[in-house]
Amino acid sequence: MSVAALDVSILGPAFVAGLLVVATHVPLGREVLARGIVFIDLAIAQIAGLGVIAADALGWEPQGFAVQIAAVTAALLGALALTFTEKRWPEIQEALIGVSFVLAATAGILLLANNPHGGEHLKDLLVGQILWVSYNQLVPIALLTAAILALWFGAGAKLGRIGFYATFAFAVTASVQLVGIYLVFASLIVPALAIRRLSGWPALWRGYALGALGYALGIVASALYDLPTGAVVVCALALTAGLAAVGVSVKRRAA
């Protein structure tokens, strides 16, 4: 155990990043579960990464803003294609998502065969590390989060299928660079699983509380036991959500 790393200035930005991710991913995750397309975030993130590699292959200077444009454009195109397939072949949507993940990942490898520096950008894009986050980086993410939440809760059902996929593309492209693919998946699915039997605000605030608790416990545990933060947070999220789900079912049986 080491207490030295238990420092708000070290752990604070990571926790705020986690809260921002949870804010959009809990409601999105409920929708993802309802539609039965849990691997969509992997596919969208991989397609965003493919966009960056493709931009690099086309000779764009892949720095800063250009990377983000390339990533979001690719993610949106991917989202659009998935909107179409869901409408056309809803019964095989999850399989198609899986296939698009594998295709995007391998297309990336093939493009990289002659363009290795794109690999660094792909890696940056998919393996964000939550501890390297700084408050400055969080400002644009906070704005994006606010916009997504306003749209989500403002427009509600009017967003429709295209609205959902497009919102999802923006949210995941941003969060995956911040905290990495494992945490994005866990933040999206784990709290949503724990609250799946509830609905409306009671579901939502419990999901938020579980997410925040999971991040807080995970970040503190990683400081105390000197372990990689992202991986510990994933475990902590699973643990808190699992205990909450057990608690709910025990209460239900008792009632």
Partner 1 sequence: MKKLTSLLAGLLFLAASPTHADLKVFACEPEWAALARELGGDKVSAFSATTPRQDPHHIEARPSLIARLRQADLSVCTGADLEIGWMPALLRQAGNSKVQPGQAGYFEAASVVERLEIPTVLDRSLGDIHAGGNPHIHTDPRRIAVVADKLGERLAIVDPANAGYYDERRQAFAQRWRRAIEEWSKRAAPLKGLRAVAHHRDWIYLYDWLGIEDAGTLEAKPGIPPSAAHLAALKAALTREPARVVIRTPYQDPRPSEWIAREAALRAVVLPYTVGGTPGAKDLYTLFDETIRLLLEAPA
Binding stretches for partner 1 (CB under 8 A): 2, 4-7, 9-11, 112-117, 119-120, 123, 129-132, 134, 219, 222-223, 226-231
Least CB distance to partner 1 at residue 131 (A):
4
Cβ proximity to partner 1, 54 vs 241, nearer residue = 54
CB 118 within 8 A of CB 56: yes
Closest distance of CB 154 from partner 1, Å: 36
Rounded to whole angstroms, the Cα distance separating 101 from 217 reads 31
Cβ–Cβ under 8 Å, residues 141 and 178: yes
SS3 content of the chain, % helix, strand, coil (to 5): 85, 0, 15
Please, which residue, 198 or 235, has the CB nearer to partner 1? 235
CB within 8 A of 38, min separation 6: which ones? 32, 94, 189
Smallest gap from residue 231 Cβ to partner 1 (A)? 7
SS3 state at 48: helix
Of 167 and 187, nearer to partner 1 (C-beta) is: 187
| Closest distance to partner 1 from the beta carbon of 132 (Å) | 4
6 or 246: whose CB is closer to partner 1? Answer: 6
Q: Do residues 246 and 22 touch, judged by C-beta distance below 8 A?
A: no
- Closest by Cα among 62, 43, 44, 42 to 52: 62
CB of 142: closest distance to partner 1 in angstroms?
Answer: 19
Q: CA 21, CA 81: separation in Å to the nearest integer?
A: 25
Q: Which is nearer to partner 1, 7 or 205 (CB)?
A: 7
